[in-house]
Structure 1
Amino acid sequence: MSIALKYKHRTSQKKSELIPVNDESWFRELIEAAGDWLWMMDKDTRYIYSNSKIKNLLGYEVGDIIGKTRFELMTVDAGQCTATELDGIMQEQSAFNNIEIIALHKEGHQVTLQASGVPVFNEQDEFCGYRGFDRDVSEHRRREEAQALSHKRLVESQQIAQLGHWDWDLVNETLFWSDEVYRICGLEPGQIKPGYEVFLNFIHPDDREEWKRAVINAMSGSRYNMDHRIVLSGEDRYVHGQGQVQLDDTGKPIRMMGTIQDITERKLLESALNILADFHPSTGLSGYYRTCVESLARVYDTRYAFVGLFSGDAQQRITTQAVWANGEFVSNFEYDLTGAPCTNILDIKKKLISEDVARLFPQDTFLGKLEAESYFGAPLLSAEGRKMGMIAVIDIKPMKITPWTEPILGIFAQRISSYIERNRAEKEIKTSEKELRNIFRDMQDTYCRTDNNRVIIRLSESIKQLLDYQVDELLGANIEDLYEEPAKRQELMETLDAGEGSIQNFEVALKHRNGSIIWVSINAHYYRDSNGNILGVEDMIRDINQHRQSELQMQKMSSALAQSADMVMITDDKGIIEYINPAFESITGYRFDEAVGSSSNIVRSGEQNLNFYRDMWHTILAGKTYRGVVTNRKKNGDLYYEEKSIAPIKNAQGDIVNFVSTGRDISERMENEKRLSFMAHHDALTELPNRTLFIDRLDQALAHARRYSRKVSVLFIDLDRFKNINDTLGHDAGDQMLAQLADRLGNNIRQHDTVARLGGDEFAVLLNDIETEQDVSQLANMILLNLEQPFEVDGRELFITASIGICLFPDDGKDHGTLLKNADIAMYKAKELGKNNYQFYSADMSARAFQRLTMENSLRRALEREEFRLFYQPQIDIETNTITGVEALIRWQHPDLGMVSPNDFIPLLEETGLIDPVGYWVVATACKQMQTWYDAGLPELTMSVNISGRQFHARDFIGKIKSCLNESQVSPEQIEIEITESVLMENQQSTIKALESLAEFGFRIAIDDFGTGYSSLSYLRRFRIDTLKIDQFFIRDVIDDPDNAAITSAIIAMAQNLKLKIIAEGVETQAQLAFLEKRDCRYMQGYLFSRPVSADEITKLLMAQQKNHGTKNSR
């Protein structure tokens, strides 16, 4: 702090000479606010002024120090030290800066202050005193001292751990080594300038490339962490290095820092441990000694190493067990310990002499012969501390003693001692075993001795007969491992303690080798040493398994009888009840006291005749077991099915004395079997016989008919257009109709006849003992007549018809397969003839069925062979007498059969699934033909194409239709998609979506065969429809049938009200034309105008129309 003041030049008054001339108030405020202790001294260095900070620093009030010198505020020693330093300064009246002094706080503790002051002179240049300030640096000094101590400890720790640190400046290419790095490299600190190449030269040549790679990898972000060797004066040392790289903001390495540690001794220890761990005892004790001495010599890098054991009890001579000398094994010898280092080894545990050993032990001539310089040795001690021998390594050069030298030697000594002890113990065990085998060779009971850890140490050979183990297998095992319940051994030990060290007849279960349980009785007692200390337990084990098993078997049998869910009854040889179990009581209702003494007939039901019981008694009295199912009666009168077995029990003389009856109530199972049998042979919906049962009964009927020369008839019934009901009203409605139909069919047949459901809407009737065909015809007519009555389903009246095929045995077939096939053929013939009728099978039907099969095979290749043709039937506007549209109709030109009727092959297309590819071929071909007509300038037309339900409901239908159209330049408005009424009603939500998509694209929609399905006005209004086509079924009889006339008139009126275009199909007469014309039906189609003709014929008609009317297309 520096404060510039102006002073008066007066010398008469000391204090006034130091006071500023100006007003002092502002100045005093300023110095009171200062953070340091500000003071003024007179020329005798006594304080004449102080600010209040003296209180904070030393605890004094300002008045306490006025008139005192600085030295009065210090300890004696500190005051003397400070006086020495300040005397010269003050004599010279010089300024002083940052002089450190030790002041004494008022409370007694020391405070380190840093003082600065300047001399003050008056105007005559006379010295008046000092002014200055002190600052508290106690905390700063404490931190410096702590840092210094920490640094000292770090340096010492690194020296102890042989751990150095380094710092490599990659930018300036400078490398810093701590002192310990120099020492690890065998150098004095600062001896050389550290650098990359300098350290690289220290690294073992074989490790340099790996070290370089590790450094390069560290520069790329990996952590540097590796062990490698360095070479110092020809000696390999192992070091462990680790470090990390510091990067700048661009990711470039700028600094690498880390540590290096000498791990040579650790590596030697690891090597020694690995050698001992890898040793396999199969080479025996001598091999183990040889392995150890060779390892010792290599670990300590010495010329000589040996293992020796005492010769005799005097411990004055040892006999070597293995000797390594100059890189090879040499013969063993005896070594006199008199005056040898070995004596000291045996007294002080270990002896490490790094040099001058031969001079220190001149009596040991052996060392002199070897010219030994250094000697490390350790005793071999037993577990009780008994001296057994020693190990030693000797060299002709000094050996360095490191922190690892003694531990490594100790590990070798301990391992060798343990191995010797183990080998000796094994010999003792084998000797004891031989003795025990001789003692217990013929003993039936098994002797077992365990130590206090329950480990088996002796065992007699009878253990083989008891548990099927060899003695050697169990020695060293814990006896608890043989117990089925290991806790039982603890229980035995507690009983021993309670019984003063012995126990008799302790029963326990042991585990046999094969996993079975062997029950034994154990007599056990403690055995002790000469001082009475317990050494373990001796057991005498007796096999009581057979006796125990018999007891357990009896207990199990008794428990099994009582707890069995099956009924058990024991009678004497006359059938009088002696015992029943609880299950018998529960099932029959008879109590134990009611049943015992009564005859076993108390449960007889009378359902079996006397022959049944005669056969049963014959079986059991012959000494055999009876098995069968019996219907018995409970006490309350209810019947139950019992699956029963009765076995005789004989005495020692072979006479039957009892019968044991066991039975199980299988009433529920029998009912289930009946139910399953019914389900396996009957239709689940109608409960009629299924195909399997029908064929079985048909085979029985045929066998009967063959035997008695009778006739049998098979009727095959298939419902007409049943699929429309399923598709329109749903499968639930269809199922209800099938169930009602089954009831009607059942009411039409005789009791010994059979009606069956073969699947779907197919039924069959089997008629036995037929006299004439007339009998069968009457039944068929009755079935068709019954079907005329409506079926009521969910409040609706539904109608259905059927097609029936009939065949007779033996005329139409000799087996069930032929009869069913021929009845099926006859049924198809009935469908071809218009459905709702029956047909008897005839031989020509088989030929037709074969033809149908041939046609199906040909049909599968008709498309690729280009056998299909398109014909077109004109649609006429009767007001203008012009062709306004055509309907594309497919024909099949078969190479052998000629032109095949659509009625013959279109059902086959639908059955085989070929309707999809053929249907799209029709659309594509029709579009191309439209394009041809347009290109020729002919009048514009509407092309109607029929789409099957399978096509319409396919997922890719819209895309395929568009694709067909895209192949030509025909406008979608000129294409009319025709679907049947039944297709319209299937899956209405998806139908609405598909119709909307077609309409949005521009296609027209027509409903074909309208009036034959189940749609209603409310349904039609939901769909986007352009045209209704009245089915020719109604047009055909419109003149003669008032019903058809009324329906046709209603359809026309409805279409007009809905503003739909309407086309009448199948117009063939002038009368039909007049009827339709009168009701304003403008568009017609039928043979009256033109049959379906080829494209060329349509071309001619259009050209003639164009000539007569002058019409042409607008393109």
Structure 2
Amino acid sequence: MKEPAAPDLYSALDGVSWPVLVTAMVQGEHVISYANAAFSAMCGHPIAELVGRDDDFLDGLTTDRSVKADMQAVLTEGRGIRRTIVTTRKDGTPYRTDVAIDPIRNASGRVTHLISIYRPTDDTGDPAATIGEVDTNLPSIAEHLPGYIYRVIMRTDGTIDTVYRSASLAQMLGTDNSQVMRTFDNLVYPDDHDAVYAALRKSAAGMSVFREEFRLVASNGTLHWLRSRAMPRRTPNGEITWDGIAIESSAEERWESEIANQASRDPLTGLLTRAAWLQALESELTAERSESATCAVICSDISAFSALNERLGQIAGDTILRETAKRLAKLAASIGGVAARLGGDEFAIMIPDCADQESLSLCVGSLSEAFAQPMQIGTECLTVLTCIGATFNQRLENETMADKGIASEVMTQAEIALRWAKQSGRNTPMLYSPEQDDRHRNEAVLARSLEHAIANDELELHYQPLVELASGRIVSAEALVRWKHPTLGMQRPDRFIPLAETSGLIVPLGRWVLEQAFRQHRLWTSAGLAPPPVAVNVSGNQLMEPGFVALVEEALKSQGANAANFEIELTEGLLVEPSPQIMASLHALRTMGFTIAIDDFGSGHATFRYLRDFPVDKLKIDQIFVRKLVLESTDALIIRAIISLARSMGIGLVAEGIETDMQRSFLQQEGCAVGQGYLFSMPLVAEDFTWMLAHNVSLPMRGPVEQAVPGSPTGPDAVTGAQLG
């Protein structure tokens, strides 16, 4: 079995006069991987008899209850212990020894080995005095190790001082000890300086283990790679002290680290790659911590980066990415986080010890502020907008995610929050919530089901009559799409229509509605009835499609329909900034014979100029004004103004949402001739509307419609008035 510990460390320990034992953590057991000659002489077991065996056959460490309990602190908290134990030699004779046990961790922070240094003493010896002697001689012990011992103190004012470094450091760097003490910061490799002090501050903030890998520069320019671990302790005067050991990596480890570093770093920004960062996230989330420990992930990307890259050029685009990465890395260092470039213009930060959601919100706010600062890109000073999504994961929940892959699930949560941020608007950070995720997951299910529903004719059109207010005669009908999901039940159009818009399904859905409306009108005509014009709702996304007009022409032809028998309804919002494509489509539809109507008029921001330039034949007063109508109210004044506007411009008018006789009378008196609403009829299936046409009914009918019309739908799903678009 290949020894996992550094061979350099073993060879250095061979010359140590103190007994030393190194055990490896293998599947929950402590397997002895190294014992020096001094340890063999102390216990009486030959080295060959020790290496490869579990250390439980040695007395003291596993038989002394207090020591056994304290061993857990070495494994979980990363701090060393010192104890006096009584153990037995191979020949059965007992002896007392003092032992100092410290953990050795790998690059991901997991404890892989324990190193134990022994100090034999006789039975009459004073343990406290013995430990004091060990403390006194510890610097000389360290001189034989490939690294150095240190003491670092954080003062109450936040300054950090190193008050002791063993002489072995000066020997390693090829300089004198006084020089090391005076200029240590200058000896730290520049790229590692901020990370070391950020790790110390993070350790102090949470009183957690300080662990860091860094490089020191020798007097001849050689880089020495070191790993350091230390547990902080607070002194009575409020200062925080770290007593620790920095062990140099072996030459082989150094070479592997350099190769791995090149493979795990993004060449453009220097940040971790997605794969390396996810591996670090997995290690962090699966590390043994307290149940209250938490981890947060922040994802961000640059808004409209493709457009910026195209306009400014790739060199400028790369500069934007590097500057964004620099700001991200600076924040990560200040909060003890780990930054990465996930790909393209998407970045991420992992915050291993994030106290709560409030702390996460503060970090997100700091990142937003950093990104909001202008960038000097060539001759331009740009403010680059970003979207940010974040998630807050409590490790207690990890057991429930074990089968999914913890890092993958947490990353998914952060990316979902990022998607919400993009949907809600630029520079609006979003925090993941399971409740919102469930809603969006349901919408994703609906979107997939909707595609199936369109392809398999699971939808149907309902028709709501428009009537002449004076007589109740049906003069038109509005086609409204309905969908009864096979498992989720009746779905409101105001839920699945937006899904169709965002998923791109609005085009096939709109085509289905047009074809069904054209087909039904032809069926009524073929049955000898005189059907009124039918209004079909069309969205802006449909009008923006270059092939939409051709699609309508094809649908008319395939169903044998006449455009003069139909109206195209669109929302007022399209009037605000109609694109050339929308204007061209509307003019083409009007030329074909369609009537153009503006739905929900009064709720948007249309102006006289747009009405003058737009090919509009009819306005439909937004039902919000009609439903809230009270005589002499503001709503009444708005309705009067819209009626006056339509009359003066020669535009037809319809009032939506009429539910009472008072509303009907007011509208008729003010000059609105046509209305629509539940006072007259709910939306009806085609068969019920056919019955009304065949019997030439006037609305409202006396008595409930469902009693007069065979098979009329009832219940809340039957009276839903939302429409396509």
Per the TM superposition, whether the score is higher than 0.5 is no
Comparing both chains, which one has the higher relative contact order based on Cα–Cα distances under 8 Å and sequence gaps of 6 or more? 2
**Rg: which structure is higher?**
1
TM-score normalized with structure 1 length: 0.30
